[in-house]
Structure 1
Amino acid sequence: MKRTTIVDVGRLAGVSAKTVSRVLNDEPHVSAAVKQRVRAAADALDYHPNVFAQALVRRKSHMIGLVYENPSPSYVVELQKGVLERLINERYRLVVIPIRSVQENAAEVVGLLRSAALDGVVLAPPASDHPLILNQLKEARIRCARIAPTRMIEAAPSNLVDDVAAAREIAAYVIGLGHREIAIIRGDPTHPSTEARMLGYMQAFHQAGLDLRFDRIEPGMFTFDSGLAAGRNILARADRPTAILAQNDDMAVGAMMAAREIGLSIPERLSIVGFDDSEVSRITWPRLTTVRQPVFEMAVAATEMVIAQLEDREPLARVLHHHTLLIRESAAPPHA
């Protein structure tokens, strides 16, 4: 079936193809009556502009990218929903660009963005913290905004959350329940948030006068499978802890599965808490005590920052988003 063109629309509306182009691009000096005829003809023919052809003419694609690596499906969905929320009633479109490993492929990321002819990009961790990516974006004049960076805050418009304070608060809550035998599941070592959350845990332990036992810290990758493996290792030890701090919800749910495999009831025999307040934390049982990181709101704000730059408006340099401790059913005082 032949694709409808602006020539077809112009023929039906009784105007030139150039006039159709001016109407569809909201250019001035076209009468209201002509605009109405052209748009009615476009609707009748179910005409949709060729985005790539428009990009060649305008040297502007009206496409905004979202670069992310985080393997948590819930986290990624919140990012995408936030960007799409801000793009409602805008002519910009979203291009999702998952990167398997930012650390291993940083040198190719900006080249990929340039080949996609993007006008701007929202950077999620850890790309939002990578100096090579930030420098190359600046050189390529691709507008960007960052989600949850921890370094070089002035390098580009940024949406911040205090990972250290959030981790400190949830660790202090677990300690306040009476737990002293506590294990930790770390996140991906290439993500700066992993170290920030670890620092928050350490501060909570120090304030409570507790020693942080490094033999009770298990590596993870922010995935369910890594949380399951870490949970199995933790619970296989003779000196089994009474609580587990996991650096995101997916790993916490993996640890919950490890506990169920050996018949440990949660929270009666083992307390487990997470981080992020992703969807999985709300649908598992018992529901997961966690820290809400406003991923959706940060994605909305980051997209606004990109659009502001594309429209020659001054974007906010930084926005601090607040976390919330969400107390649910997965944590309780240790069993006597």
Structure 2
Amino acid sequence: MEKVKRARIQDVAELAGVSNMTVSRVLNGGVKVSEVKRKAVMNAVERLNYSPDAAARRLASKKSYMIGLLYQDLDISYVSKFLLRALKSCRNVDHHLVPDGIDGDIDEFYRAVKKLIDVTQIDGVILLAPISNNPQILELLQNAQIPFVRISPDDHSNISPLIAIDEFKAGYAMTEYLISLGHTKIAHIKGHPNQAASRLREEGFEAAMQANNLKIRPEYIVQGYYTYDSGIPASHALLAGDDRPTAIFAANDEMAAAAISVANKLGIKTPQQLSVGGLDDAQLAVTMSPHLTTIRQPIMEMAELAVDLLTSNMMQTNKLLARGHRHILDFELVKRQSATYPEINISTNK
């Protein structure tokens, strides 16, 4: 069987009646090309079904077409959802995503990031919290003049673009909803203490309680770490006693799922005897029973926007390195079966 000859850049140039350099400029977004020549090149590309060689494309543009994604293994559901959408978004713009995670040793991670920069020559980096707050990593990227986008950082300085939701308002909205159902004894499972979102969600919880003149009981606020496993002991601390809450707002869906699991094991019916709300709207929110009432964080939109910023011409010319843009996206309260009105005249004792 005769092998089909692959079109070359010279073939495109000859058919379009321009030079090889002009073809290269058109394909790499060059601005010094007339509209007539640009159309001629694109018509030739379509007729010849031309696809530029990846290595040649990188050499011509001095870009790697690789985007890094740095994350910490905390909220697996959140990271997985962000990662999958970022992968798809990179493919849509002919880039490759290079993810790398940290399990706690920041010095080791710093060396890994430095190696990533030196070996792959990545064009930009997406930083998920809490890495989006790490001064060592931020300084490393700034010194290397690599554009980066921070997701849900602790500070809103203008060192780079940031993407987030209003975490305070999200915590407030979930607590306010539980209060609107008639709950007054509401507990909160906090997120990991090294993330700004945890503090802001807790502050939103407290503000909603205070606005409704409800008592914030210290024993009803327990520490979690954004993992299902951390939600188990936290939920036990809230539910194993005689004077338990009638509702729990967990700082993410995994810990909310843990609360429902512990309640089931203790013979506490959800939502009849315990309402539970989470935050993220991860996949498990609709695979667990009952389906979880939660705050839908636009994780996929955040991933798409981060990739778009890093692959845009404006970002690649480093104009945004010293001019951070704040992108605060909307969230949505999703009402499902895990939260309802509290039972009347029923003892909260086991």
Give the TM-score category using the shorter length: 0.7 to 0.9
| Paired-residue identity, % | 32
Using the TM superposition, name which of 240-249 and 305-314 deviates more.
305-314
Letter in 2 for 1:300: E
Using the TM superposition, name which of 295-304 and 98-107 deviates more.
98-107
Q: Please state if 1:232 is matched with 2:240.
A: no
- Aligned match of 1:74 in 68, 72, 77? 77
Distance 2:166 2:45 in 1: 51
Letter in 1 for 2:200: A
Does the C-alpha gap of structure 1 residues 102 and 21 become closer, same or farther in structure 2, counting only changes over 3 Å?
A: farther
Determine if contact 1:79/1:299 at 8 Å carries over to the other structure: yes
Q: Please state if 1:62 is matched with 2:65.
A: yes
Structure 1 unaligned spans of 5+: 1-5, 14-18
| 1:246 matched residue in structure 2 | 250
| 2:171 matched residue in structure 1 | 167
The count of corresponding residues between Structure 1 and Structure 2 is 321
Q: Please state if 1:323 is matched with 2:326.
A: no
Determine if contact 1:110/1:137 at 8 Å carries over to the other structure: no
Q: Please state if 1:108 is matched with 2:108.
A: no
| 1:118 matched residue in structure 2 | 122
| 1:287 matched residue in structure 2 | 291
SS of the residue 1:169 aligns to: helix
- Aligned match of 1:94 in 91, 94, 97? 97
Distance 2:228 2:246 in 1: 20
Determine if contact 1:182/1:216 at 8 Å carries over to the other structure: yes
SS of the residue 1:206 aligns to: helix
Distance 2:109 2:225 in 1: 19
SS of the residue 1:154 aligns to: coil
What is the deviation of 1:101? Answer: 2.9
| 1:148 matched residue in structure 2 | 152
| 1:300 matched residue in structure 2 | 304
Does the C-alpha gap of structure 1 residues 197 and 36 become closer, same or farther in structure 2, counting only changes over 3 Å?
A: closer
Query: Residues 141-174 of structure 1: CA distance to partner in whole angstroms, max 9, x if unpaired?
Result: 1111122223043110111210001101111111
Using the TM superposition, name which of 290-299 and 70-79 deviates more.
70-79
Determine if contact 2:169/2:204 at 8 Å carries over to the other structure: yes
Determine if contact 2:123/2:316 at 8 Å carries over to the other structure: no
Determine if contact 1:109/1:133 at 8 Å carries over to the other structure: no
| 2:189 matched residue in structure 1 | 185
Query: Residues 292-313 of structure 1: CA distance to partner in whole angstroms, max 9, x if unpaired?
Result: 1111111111111111245438
Query: Residues 20-76 of structure 1: CA distance to partner in whole angstroms, max 9, x if unpaired?
Result: 9998994899x97xx779977x99xxxx9565x865776421100111115333212
C-alpha RMSD of the superposition: 3.4
Does the C-alpha gap of structure 1 residues 325 and 39 become closer, same or farther in structure 2, counting only changes over 3 Å?
A: same
Letter in 2 for 1:332: T
Does the C-alpha gap of structure 1 residues 24 and 73 become closer, same or farther in structure 2, counting only changes over 3 Å?
A: farther
What is the deviation of 1:135? Answer: 2.0
TM-score with structure 2 length normalisation? Answer: 0.79
Determine if contact 1:287/1:330 at 8 Å carries over to the other structure: yes
SS of the residue 1:275 aligns to: strand
Distance 1:69 1:212 in 2: 31
Does the C-alpha gap of structure 1 residues 187 and 103 become closer, same or farther in structure 2, counting only changes over 3 Å?
A: farther
Does the C-alpha gap of structure 1 residues 37 and 209 become closer, same or farther in structure 2, counting only changes over 3 Å?
A: closer
Letter in 2 for 1:312: T
Determine if contact 2:279/2:296 at 8 Å carries over to the other structure: yes
SS of the residue 2:149 aligns to: strand
| 1:203 matched residue in structure 2 | 207
SS of the residue 2:126 aligns to: strand
Determine if contact 2:249/2:277 at 8 Å carries over to the other structure: yes
Letter in 2 for 1:228: I
